[in-house]
Structures are given as structure tokens and as C-alpha cells.
Structure 1
């Protein structure tokens, strides 16, 4: 994971290139997998994409059951202020950025990163949608609202035009310094130093205004996957790089609406529909692509998938179409 973290290119708070932070994140995740809970409880689950032939980790993603518990979860909310002058007979509409904690208490999917050598064959979709299958299989541990933050525009120097045009003026540090500090220490320094009054976007330089709400080019495919899953952009942006934050009602996510538990009837299928198949509870959760065939209220699965997931007839699987 550390080697992958060094490939992110900055602005990827959930996967910082710091061994100690990653170790603590994995230890926290291990403890969360080990416990039983029937409600959201500030838990973190780290999932990894494994090459089962080599044992190598080729990707990672994360789930947060309830944001804003350890420290405030800040966002900028884009709002419009309208004023009318009778003397001039003109109406003015000004766009503002307001610092808010509206999304506290929501669950979050994040930390999605694929090794550059593995960005083909639908592996990104497998890694992304496995999170929603995990939520479906552990529904009580997640909130009724869910969000995803996408990395914003980062320039060739590793800087952020949004940060340089706004927050950087109040913190006396570069985007990379602030991003690293946030990843290692949390964002309380935002509450301490960020101006609480709304910021009129017209007062920002054009370079900052132009990137508000835009995902990083490498995140456009992730944005489309999120939108296909049911997430929508509602005017929330990241306070560091201006990237979009998208939200959804958890139970309205496509995967949750289309999946249900089914008993495995047999494990010798030769050909069938290629779908995502998941099984297991907590730390025993596994998900992969496999072939299925419905047999009444049961499902037949191919042998390779059964071996990969360590299941046999009589066990339960959750399936969803690609």
C-alpha cells in the first residue's frame, strides 16, 4: 500500500505516502472488522484488490461508516445570493462558498486507487462496487446518507489552483504541505484558521474559479461510476482542492437495490452470466467476478469462483450484474 501511495500524485488524503499513518489505518481497520455492531460507529474498513495468483495487492478502497466523529467534516457549499436594486432596476446574483459541516454523520466511500498496471479488465469497477456489496451485507453499520469525495484539479507542479486562490492565503503553506498535514493530523487547523464568512467566488482568481467542482482527469471514470451508482453532485466541494463531493441515499444505490442474498446450489457451472459475487462476514468478506446461473431461488456458481471465495453448496452469496 505504501508503494501505491507514492504513485497517487498528491491530493489523495485517504492514502498518504507515510508508513506510520498507513500502519495505523490498517490497525484501525482490523479492529473494526473484528467487532460486531448494529449501528454506525466511526468505523473504517480498508479493502484491497489482490492478484490471487501472486498475492500482490494491486488496488485499495475504503469505507467510513460515520464521518465527522473524530474531527469535523468540512466542505464548501456553493450557494447563490440574490440582491435587487430598485434605483438601478437590476438584479445581481452572486455565487458564494460557505464553510459547512452539513455532511457530518453520513457514511463515505473513498480511497479508491488502482495500480497503473491494473487499470483494465473492469478491475476498477470490481474494487468500487465491492464496497456497495459490503454495505448491503453489513447494512446496520452504515448511515442513511452516503458521500464520495473526488480529487480536484492538481497542476503539473503538484499544486492546487483552488488552494492557491483561496485557502492558501490564510494558512501560509503550500497545497502539498496542507494536504500532508491533514492526512497525518486531521483538519482541526481548518476550523482554527479558515475564515467563517462566505467567500464570493467573483473575488477569486480565474484559475481558482475555473476548477471549482471539477474532478481530476484521472478521476473522471470514477465520477461516472459514482453517477451510475446513483450519486449526484449537489454543490459540495472539497476545501483543499475544490474537487466535487457527491452524495446519495444509501438504500437508493443501484447495487443495494439490485442485490440480495441467495443460497449456492452447486459449484460446477461451466458457463453463465458474468457478475460480481460476494460472500463472508466482516473480515471474511470476499468479492470477485464470476459466473452464475439462477436455479429458482438459488444460484449455481463456477468452480473457480467457489474456490476463490472459499464457498460450497449451501453457503450464501450476494450477486449483482456488472
Structure 2
């Protein structure tokens, strides 16, 4: 069974393999053991804390329990800009009028901004290609965590998507701007950010607005365009209610997406039940048809998520409520993977957003 859980130090070698498969450009999953261990330690410290902290980072992994191997990752930063400035380019329109020529010219500017500082940020989403088809619920496991423990996160949530690069990994946007100001290759700047060293951005980034019309056409064409591999991620974000707010990454011009936590569809769909039930013990009661659900152990210290078939236990078409307890019947195996005993609480959302 596939299980989403907090990352631990023993996962680092599997994570290195995943980082190599993700390739260059995914700064949140660096091909550096020390940097990965730092992320794991930060996540462990964050889960150990009981109160909100500006350094909180929650690193989740998807584990194939049959093979005891980590096959995917997802993460949430509780607050952007906690230790280092969070920069982005906002696209702004400017209109010039010439009365003598009776002409109006509209221009587009890239304006350096810190507008997204102090938002929560979802990211680090990557799945081993061999497990394709599970990325949707791996991504949504983050929203279960955020919805169940909303007090640990900001009201606004953002997601950065990788910008477009060619088959050789070259970024037209970087070549037009970043290369001139940082005097290094895109991969080098990307790697520095991936290992948590981005002070050079504050020191070297141009602070004045840039007219996009002065950029090569190739660079203009990729502003706000995600990498080919990131198009599905963008679709999943849009299904959740995220929207492109005309803000892009300063390196590769990948789009930044934004949503209010309370409006994220998965968060709104969360349902909590006060009692789990082992399917083997439900013979004396009627059960609705099985449903495919994303189910979480809602304990902060034992947070786990699985995606499985489950039954809502009912009587004459109504959910049973005994002393206020509604029940969801799961297999003994599913309960075990969640770390839940019969009678303990569960939380879930439908696997399909439209369900």
C-alpha cells in the first residue's frame, strides 16, 4: 500500500534517487544529501512543535510499504520569507499617451516584489514516474494537513511552478535577465537556491522595473509559462481553486499560483468522523457501496494518509450515529497503515474532486 507520512532521516537515500529523477530545476528537491537532511531535520522539528512557528516546514513522503521505499514527495512551508527575502516579479501594465501624435502605447513591466512574503507555500511535489497516477492524492495530502491544522498555516497559500526550459535545460528568461546580473549559469544559480543559499539574490538582483518589450521574443514568450512537466501540476492547482496572479519566478518566469486556504476545494471537502470501524466487524450493519477516499489519521504526531476503498456504515440509508459517533469501515490493513485503532477518529475527502 502507498502511505503518505512525514519524512525521516532514514529516507535520505531514497530522496536522493528521486532528486536525480526530478532533474535540474527542482530547487525544493536538491541533489545534495546534506541539503536534504537539513530539510528533513527542519520538518521533524516542525512536527515536534505544538505551536505555530515561522520556520515551520512540513516534508511529506509517499512510501510504498510493500517495498519499503520512498517514491514521492510533497511539502509545505508555513511562511515564506521567514529567514530570507522572498522575491518575485509582478507583471504590471503601463499606458503612455502622446497627444501630439494622437497615439497610445501600452507596455508591460516586470516589477520586483515581496508581495507573497508571509504566505504559506506548497511545493516539493514529485512522484517517481513508475507510480504515475498517484500524484493527485499525494498533492492533496498537503491540503488535508493544512485543513486539519489550519492554525499552523497562513490564510493565503501560494505555489511556484517551474518555468519553461528547452530540451537542454536552458531558460530563455534567465538568459535574457539573470545571466547578465548574476554572471553565472542557470544551473548554478538554481543549485545555490536548492541548498538554501539565496542571499546573492538580494545582493545582485536588479531593483528597477524591466520593460518586457526590451527582452528577446523567446524570453517574452515564456513569461508565466510552466515547464512541460509542470502543466499537470498547474491543472491540479487550478482544480483546487488556485489562480495565476500575474506573478512569476525571478529566475525562469514560472507562474506563481495563489489561493485562500479556506477556499481550497480539498480543504472545504474535509470530513471528520469520530470513530473508525474495521470492515470485518461491520457484518451486523448495512454498508453503503464502497467509495474511493483519501483518508488521514488526524493526529498531529501520527499524521498519515492513504487512498483506498472504504464504506460508510449506514442503517436504512442513514449514517449511524451512536453517541455522536459516525463510522467509516476500513480493512484491518488500511487501519494498520494509518496507525489507527477501531473507535479512533479519522478524516477524509473523496478521491475525485467532483465527488
Q: Which bin holds the TM-score, normalised by the shorter protein?
A: over 0.9
C-alpha deviation, 1:312, in angstroms? 2.5
Aligned: 1:300 with 2:328: yes
What is the alpha-carbon distance in structure 2 between the residues aligned to residue 186 and residue 228 of structure 1? 33
Q: Residue 227 of structure 1 aligns with which residue?
A: 238
- Is residue 32 of structure 1 aligned with residue 61 of structure 2? no
Give the whole-Å Cα distance in 2 for the aligned partners of 1:291 and 1:313.
17
Deviation at 1:52, TM superposition (A): 1.2
Tell me whether 1:168 sits opposite 2:172 in the alignment.
no
Measure, in 2, the Cα distance between the counterparts of 1:81 and 1:42. Answer: 37
Looking at structure 2, the residues matched to 186 and 74 of structure 1 have their Cα atoms a distance apart, in angstroms, of 14
Match of 1:313 in 2: 342
Separation in structure 1 between the aligned mates of residue 77 and residue 309 of structure 2, nearest angstrom: 30
User: In 2, distance between residues paired with 1:158 and 1:279?
Assistant: 40
Q: Shift of the alpha carbon at 1:161?
A: 1.1
| Superposed counterparts of 1:1-12, under 5 Å | 1-12=15-26
Contact map agreement 1:293 1:301 (CA 8 A) in 2:
yes
| Aligned twin of 2:59 | 46
TM-score by length of structure 2 reads 0.87
Q: Is the 8 A contact 2:302 2:339 kept in 1?
A: no
Q: Secondary structure, in 3 states, of the residue corresponding to 1:282?
A: coil
Quote the offset at 1:83 in angstroms. 1.3
Task: Tell me which stretches of 4 or more aligned residues in structure 1 moved more than 6 Å.
Answer: none
Q: Distance in 2 between matches of 1:141 and 1:274?
A: 28
Tell me, in whole angstroms, the C-alpha distance in 2 between the residues paired with 1:88 and 1:186.
50
| 1:62-81 map, 5 Å | 62-81=75-94
1:110 paired residue among 113, 118, 123: 123
The runs of 5 or more residues in structure 1 that have no matched partner are none
- How many residues end up aligned between the 2 structures? 319
Flag the structure with larger Rg: 2
Q: Is the 8 A contact 2:173 2:223 kept in 1?
A: yes
For 2:141 and 2:123, the matched residues in 1 are separated by: 12
CA distance in 2, matches of 1:307, 1:301: 13
Unaligned runs of 5+ in 2: 1-14
**What residue in structure 2 maps to residue 16 of structure 1?**
30
Q: Which residue of 2 aligns with 1:275?
A: 293
2:11 counterpart residue number: none
User: Residue 289 of structure 1 aligns with which residue?
Assistant: 307
Describe the SS at the equivalent of 1:7. Answer: helix
Root-mean-square deviation (Å): 1.4
Q: Is the 8 A contact 2:242 2:264 kept in 1?
A: yes
Alignment partner, residue 254 of structure 1:
265
